[in-house]
Amino acid sequence: MAVLSGAEILIQALIQENVEVIFGYPGGAVLPIYDVLYDCPLNHYLCRHEQGAIHGADGYARSTGKVGVCLATSGPGSTNLVTGLATAYMDSVPIVAFTGQVNSKMLGKDAFQEADIKGITLPITKHNYLVTQIEELAQTVKEAFYIARTGRPGPVLIDLPKDVMTARTEFAYPERLDLPGYNPTYQGHALQVRAAATEIDQAERPVIFAGGGSISANAAPELRELAWKANIPVITSLMGLGVFPENDLLSLGMPGMHGCRSANYAISEADLLIAIGVRFDDRVTGRLDSFAAKARIIHIDIDPAEISKNVEIAIPIVGDAKEILKELLPLVKGKSREKWHKQLAEWKEKHPLKYENNSEEIKPQQVIEEIYRQTRGEACIVTEVGQNQMWAAQYYQYSIPRTYISSGGLGTMGFGLPASVGVQIGRPGEIVVNISGDGSFQMNLQELATLKNYNLPVKIVILNNSSLGMVRQWQEMFYDRRYSATILTNPDFIKLAEAYGIFARRVEKKEGLALAIEKALQVAGPALLDVKVAQEENVYPMVPAGAGIKEMIGG
């Protein structure tokens, strides 16, 4: 066996795990690793901030289904990963993050750039490690990747003291793992699966509610087959967009606070809700006592902690969504349910998503519709957080899993631009569009340098309303238009992009919108559009805080 340094063992372990891409930012504590990276086959992408690196790894993981990998130095380098780890943890994204650390003999002595990143990230990682012996390193890396990608995916952090990286030992990558306390369930309980099939066959008003877990499990083919075979309408959460084609007649769109009226009405009137890989978070359920009040609920989820956490479940099935749907499909019969589908069709016809478009101002919804028209629904849409995120969810019709990339659970502003870096790297040759608000864009705009450095052809479209749009909307609706700290004085985004050497155009009139988008899409490298949109345009429909999901305003 070869004798290698800890840094060499780390890189060899990554190669063994089929890692191809690392997002990172160097520093003193990780110099031994960067020295090995200098002439190894892994592709390292230098981001301009550690938060950019972990969001890049996040976007890569979400869009490919692979484990994202990022690397940061000790102290502030590691603490700059915290928001990204929490983002990935809330949305169940598989990431392995490596952080440098001071020499192991200096731990706990407040050495320069020391931070207890293991303790700091304990609540926001699926698991984390501090490696103090080089002999533990290879085993730790193998465990980390296994934990990150299996069961309910999530981020894992490994903290690496510098002396462990420079020590030397014999290297042999372990072939097997023995984690007796970690045994995810994949196959559904046979009796529960049969009970679910019986409920589905007997239901008159069933609805499938598909979430991000159905995408993580790669269960789109089985979910679609179930919907088509049993003639069941499908609702998709924000994280589940793309798992079922939104242009299908059975699609009811997104539910919840800013969901479609037809979706919210369907949940409220259904007699059976088949929930697949969802958390039943508050933005979906609204007031809990009125959510799916007429329905029995089947909940399929790989994480037993989610069962009956927020809503009462009649038939829980713990396991992998893809495997369980494979078990369920042969047991389910077809059924017409004409009366139910007639009602759903009436709701869809009477309550489509709509907005007023009779002013001279550019409406943000119009921008999303034009992007959809020109990309034919085939782009990867990466959003920031706020109004831009909701409009991108509402007005771009998704039909392919992993093409709507957004921070759902944590709602992280500044996520979209660095995440789009990872998405474009993970899906080269595909159209990647970052839908941004002017507030969110400024939180990680330094990643423009990363786009330019690697000539990544991400198209950034800023819906510029000179405000923190979603917060301003709440101030308009519930605080008598007292716009406290939400109206922004922005820089010239065109000059900013051009300073980075990036193509940029400003759009202020409706008649120039289509041509500007067409030009940006034709540019070989990155491009930015600063689109001036109506400042007081709101996201509708909207369920006010504390209301039931049928109590929608507008739209």
pLDDT at 532: 98
Strand-pair partners of 44: 22
| CATH fold label, 190-350 | Rossmann fold (3.40.50)
CA 523 – CA 164 distance, rounded (Å):
46
Name residue, tokens 């209301």. Answer: 547
Residues 6+ away with beta carbon under 8 Å from 486: 467, 468, 471, 472, 475
Q: Is residue 345 within a helix (H) or strand (E), and if so which, with residue range? A: helix 338-350
Which tens digits make up the pLDDT trace of 16-48?
999 999 999 999 999 999 999 999 999 999 999
CA 111 – CA 441 distance, rounded (Å):
35
Q: With a threshold of 0.95, does the pTM exceed it?
A: yes
Confidence category of residue 555, pLDDT binned at 50, 70, 90: confident
The full length of the chain comes to 555
Confidence category of residue 200, pLDDT binned at 50, 70, 90: very high
Which tens digits make up the pLDDT trace of 60-95?
999 999 999 999 999 999 999 999 999 999 999 999
Q: Quick one: CATH architecture of 364-532?
A: 3-Layer(aba) Sandwich (3.40)
Residue positions annotated with a catalytic role: 50, 112-113, 162, 470
Average pLDDT, the chain: 97
Residue 1 has pLDDT above 80, yes or no: no
pLDDT at 409: 97
| DSSP state letter for 81 | T
pLDDT at 358: 86
Question: From residue 61, how far is each of 149, 306, 320, 546 by CA, in Å?
Answer: 10, 23, 19, 34
Confidence category of residue 554, pLDDT binned at 50, 70, 90: confident
Confidence category of residue 359, pLDDT binned at 50, 70, 90: confident
Which tens digits make up the pLDDT trace of 224-271?
999 999 999 999 999 999 999 999 999 999 999 999 999 999 999 999
Which tens digits make up the pLDDT trace of 364-421?
999 999 999 999 999 999 999 999 999 999 999 999 999 999 999 999 999 999 999 9
Query: Per-domain residue ranges for the chain?
Result: 3-170, 190-350, 364-532
Which tens digits make up the pLDDT trace of 308-358?
999 999 999 999 999 999 999 999 998 999 999 999 999 999 999 999 988
Strand-pair partners of 207: 273
Q: Are strands 315-318 and 296-301 parallel, antiparallel or unpaired?
A: parallel
Domains 3-170 and 364-532 share a fold: yes
Residues 6+ away with beta carbon under 8 Å from 104: 132, 161, 163, 164
CATH number 4.10.140.10 given to 3-170 = no
Closest residue by Cα to residue 268 from 554, 545, 555, 543 = 543
CA 213 – CA 325 distance, rounded (Å):
13
